[in-house]
Amino acid sequence: MHISITRLEKKLSQILPLSEAYQRSYNKLSEQYKSPEEMALYSRGYFLKKLWKMAEDNESVVAVLNINGTPRGFVRYSAIPEYYTAPINGQSRDMEKGMLDGFEFAWYRKINFERNIKLDKKTLIVNQIYIDPEMQHLGLGTHLLNRTIPELKKHGYESLIIEYNANNTNAEKFYRGIGFSAFATTQDFDHIIKKDGQTTFCISDVAIAHTTIDNAIASMRNKQLSKTYITMVQRRNGKDY
């Protein structure tokens, strides 16, 4: 069993299997709080297109986790949006607009800062991190960050932020273990439900957490892949996985 980390490229041989892992991970997480109508939109093509766009995006970098040569997860780092860098009186806001469920939307997303955190060009946002469900909670997410965050430091970056759904307790525990702590809150426009002539906007609470890169590296230093994973590797070694 072999673990490797590679950069996302515009290659279908990499993007196709990764889109399947991404879809499984995203859908397992989202079906807990999204409507069946919205879930129906999250087809394989949706994730394929998303990954293809990420591979084309020069403003972000995606590191892919491969198990035995097959992509099973990824993390994406990008420059922080401008509205983080200049809060006024502990608040900032940004216009979000686009199409969702065939419905055009535009609304102001407000961010409430609870603490003064230095956010500048040396800060990146962890936009996405997804591990295939059957490979979760084995230490692989931590391993992916442990292998990639030191590379960011080499390029001069000093800190990271992450946004996560306030109900995603697994993600919250995960980020806490990496050294992140929440410093701001906001809300995300999730989807629209149209039923019986009524339109309901679904808005979810989001926490925003921060860590310095040095703190993340120190927090991860003693973490290892779990015993379950290591046993699994021994058991499955040499067999199809």
Ligand X SMILES: CC(C)(COP(=O)(O)OP(=O)(O)OC[C@H]1O[C@@H](n2cnc3c(N)ncnc32)[C@H](O)[C@@H]1OP(=O)(O)O)[C@@H](O)C(=O)NCCC(=O)NCCS
> Considering only 82-90, 134-142, 209-217, 230-238, which stretch makes contact with ligand X by CB under 6 A?
134-142
Interacting positions 58-117 with ligand X (CB under 6 A): none
CB nearer ligand X, residue 3 or residue 29: 29
Token pair for residue 176? 């806490």
**Residue of 61, 129, 149, 206 that binds ligand X (CB under 6 A):** 129
Interacting positions 17-36 with ligand X (CB under 6 A): 25, 29
**Residue of 123, 136, 186, 211 that binds ligand X (CB under 6 A):** 136
Q: Which residues pair with 76 in a beta bridge?
A: 62, 128
Rounded least distance, CB 188 to ligand X, Å: 11
Rounded least distance, CB 40 to ligand X, Å: 20
Token pair for residue 75? 């993390």
CB nearer ligand X, residue 14 or residue 25: 25
C-beta separation of 19 from 43 below 8 A: no
Rounded least distance, CB 37 to ligand X, Å: 21
d(CA 237, CA 241): 9
CB nearer ligand X, residue 194 or residue 236: 236
CA distances from 198 to 75, 97, 195, 201 (A): 38, 21, 5, 10
**Residue of 50, 93, 109, 137 that binds ligand X (CB under 6 A):** 137
Rounded least distance, CB 137 to ligand X, Å: 4
End-to-end CA distance of the chain: 9
**Residue of 170, 181, 228, 231 that binds ligand X (CB under 6 A):** 170
Rounded least distance, CB 136 to ligand X, Å: 3
> Considering only 8-16, 140-148, 151-159, 209-217, which stretch makes contact with ligand X by CB under 6 A?
140-148
C-beta separation of 178 from 152 below 8 A: no
CA–CA–CA angle 146, 148, 153 (5° rounding): 100
CB nearer ligand X, residue 84 or residue 174: 174
d(CA 173, CA 202): 25
Helices vs strands, H then E, count in the chain: 7, 9
By CB under 6 A, residue 174 contacts ligand X: yes
Q: Give me the DSSP letters along 147-183.
A: HHHHHHHHTT--EEEEEEETT-HHHHHHHHHHT-EEE
**Residue of 23, 142, 148, 211 that binds ligand X (CB under 6 A):** 142
Evaluate the CA torsion angle 138, 144, 187, 192 in order and state its sign: negative
Interacting residues toward ligand X by CB under 6 A:
25, 29, 129-131, 136-142, 164, 168, 170-171, 173-174, 177
